[in-house]
Structure 1
Amino acid sequence: MTTLVLASASPARLATLRSAGVDPLVIVSGVDESQLDGLPPAELALQLAELKCAAVAARDDVPADALVLGCDSVLELDGAALGKPVDAADAVRRWQTMRGRSAALHTGHSLRVVASGRVAAATASTTVHFADVTDDEILAYVATGEPLHVAGAFTVDGLGGAFVTGIEGDFHNVVGVSLPLVRSLLAELGQSWTELWRSGPA
């Protein structure tokens, strides 16, 4: 059975894959995400995903039959790439800028067959509409710590869900991994999504 290796420390990505019937082996890449500053947001997300995927695929402890999936998410607002906030004050400023507006969440995906070195990669983009939240709501949300650990300083599947009024595109992409895109990348590499199911869909 093919082993899927997730080159990401994101618990949301892991939970999303598990809920879809896939239980990957997690190996964190350790890639320095600051090395690509200055790239357009969608390109930044894709290149970071490719770097993470390549770094993990090159490790000796990766199974020979593995498929390695690297992902990275970036929120684009006013043309700027917004990753994880630097600190709580940064998260508050982000939310004061984002509230009542819409932004694009880009998630780069890179999938590599370790045995052959073949790679398929693409970026999924989803439009996110934010509620016109109050300053008190922003402060309360940032105080939970949740927005400090995620790209764009928000979640759609956690406490931040009440502050997202709608999305256009793939919901799972906003969480951190686009299941339909991963399925397409697998097909591009001659692999089957359903063969990754451990005991059928969860």
Structure 2
Amino acid sequence: MLASQSPARLSVLRAAGVEPVVRVSGVDEDALLAALADASPEDRVVALSAAKAEAVEHDDECVVIGCDSMLLFEGELVGKPGTVEAARERWQRVAGKSGVLITGHTVLRVSSGEVVGRASAAESTTVRFGTPSADELEAYLATGEPLQVAGGFTIDGLGGWFVDGIDGDHTSVIGISLPLTRRLLGRLGVGVSTLW
């Protein structure tokens, strides 16, 4: 079960042989982040993933995966821009620089309707941003894509044109690290091949 409405996360899992049931958590991310203002960036993002995994209604026997991503840039942890103005400002700041995309992961193992195992961790990947021209940036903003994605960019969509490279796990930047998820499943005694 995937506790996320992200089409990118769903796409990564499907390409990796998993067809999860999708349930959206409805977690108030802003309130949770405000309550954790003094926590480390990694702990804040993992807390979001845990809240999402724990908030969804689960089946009697299942595995629940919750994820959340945020961009750490110049000491500030930022999520989805939400507006064209915020996305424009964000891109003007990050162009030609690097940031760290942190993706929190929480995996729950459910048996007889009860959570019997829990494993969480974060994956951090350095993203090297290109410098789009003013016209390219306005065209990208007009698509709406950067408004609803962590950090205001994608690497698997139109934003990929403006990312010069990454250092780390590309699936984590898309929204769910397959290697980390496999390790978390392993901690709970679930072999990834049982999900295929």
TM bin, normalised by shorter chain, reads over 0.9
- SS of match in other structure, 1:157: coil
Trace 1:160-199 onto structure 2 (pairs within 5 A). Answer: 160-197=159-196
Which of 77, 81, 91 is equivalent to 2:73?
77
Give the TM-score taking structure 1 as reference length. Answer: 0.91
Q: Deviations over 1:157-193 (max 9, x none)?
A: 0000010010000000000000000000011001100
Percentage of matched positions with identical amino acids: 50
Aligned length in residues: 189
Distance apart, 1:16 and its partner CA: 0.4
CA contact (8 A) 1:41 1:75 kept: no
For the pair 1:92 / 2:91, whether they are aligned, the reply is no
Residue of structure 2 in register with 1:126 after alignment:
125
Q: Deviations over 1:46-84 (max 9, x none)?
A: 00001001111xx2xx22111110000000001111100
Residue of structure 1 in register with 2:26 after alignment:
30
Distance apart, 1:117 and its partner CA: 2.7
Q: Deviations over 1:71-119 (max 9, x none)?
A: 0000000111110003100000000000000000000000001224310
CA contact (8 A) 1:42 1:74 kept: no
Trace 1:8-157 onto structure 2 (pairs within 5 A). Answer: 8-35=4-31, 36-37=33-34, 38=37, 39-56=39-56, 59=57, 62-115=58-111, 116-157=115-156
Distance apart, 1:41 and its partner CA: 2.5
Runs of 4+ in 1 over 3 A off after TM superposition: none
CA contact (8 A) 1:71 1:177 kept: yes
Counterpart of 1:183, as a letter, is R
Give the TM-score taking structure 2 as reference length. Answer: 0.94
CA contact (8 A) 2:82 2:148 kept: no
* RMSD (Å) for aligned C-alpha atoms: 1.0
Counterpart of 1:160, as a letter, is G
